[in-house]
Structure formats: structure tokens, C-alpha cells
Amino acid sequence: DAGVIQSPRHEVTEMGQEVTLRCKPISGHNSLFWYRQTMMRGLELLIYFNNNVPIDDSGMPEDRFSAKMPNASFSTLKIQPSEPRDSAVYFCASRAGGTYTGELFFGEGSRLTVL
């Protein structure tokens, strides 16, 4: 398997622009997580989905952030409008379901810079 695939790897945009980050989880995994990583705050959970349904979005910083998972193989994280403080690395991770499996498989991240 190719692992979790994220795009774009790097995004530079100007304040006020819309940003869409994409994620393809590992086939067969039924949980998907979006994390944000910054030097100051470390790895923060933004939202997670189970079987394509958003379960916990309490980490989404504000209404400018939205996430969707229209099917089991695709998710998006959208920021509209973007602000400089949104600059960070955004990670998508997936996890298999079942009786137990704790491992999160992370993508390589999308580095966002908002000017």
C-alpha cells in the first residue's frame, strides 16, 4: 500500500485566499484524523471521522475551518479565508477499525504558509 497520501505537499498563499488540503487514507482504514503541527502548540487534533462521519470536531479552531469526507477514500480540509496564523504543517492520519488497533498512520503532511 502507498500509505496515506496528502496533497499538496507545500502551499503558499496570501491572506484571505481559500486553501484546500486533500487526503487519501489507507484503503480499508475506517478512521481518519486531521492534525495541525506548529512549534508553539505541537500536534493538535482538529477533527476525526469514523466511517466517513465526523465524530469530534472540537479541535477545529474556528468557523473558517471545515472538513469533509465524502467517501472512504477521500477527505478535505478547507480554510476560508486563510490567515497568517494558520501557517503550519497539516497532517492527515488513518487507522484501521476492528477490535483493537491503536496505530495511526500519518501522511507526509501539507506545509501551509499564509503571507
Backbone angles phi, psi at 3, to 5 degrees: 85, -170
Work out how close the CB of 101 gets to other proteins at its nearest, in angstroms, rounded to a whole number: 6
Got the DSSP string for 80-105?
SS--GGG-EEEEEEEE--SS-----E
Work out how close the CB of 106 gets to other proteins at its nearest, in angstroms, rounded to a whole number: 3
Q: Find residue 75's DSSP bridge partners.
A: 23
3 state DSSP class of 78: strand
Work out how close the CB of 81 gets to other proteins at its nearest, in angstroms, rounded to a whole number: 27
Contact residues for other proteins, defined by CB under 8 A: 4, 31, 33, 42-43, 45, 48, 55-56, 91, 93, 95, 100-104, 106-109
Choose between 77 and 93: whose C-beta lies nearer to other proteins. Answer: 93
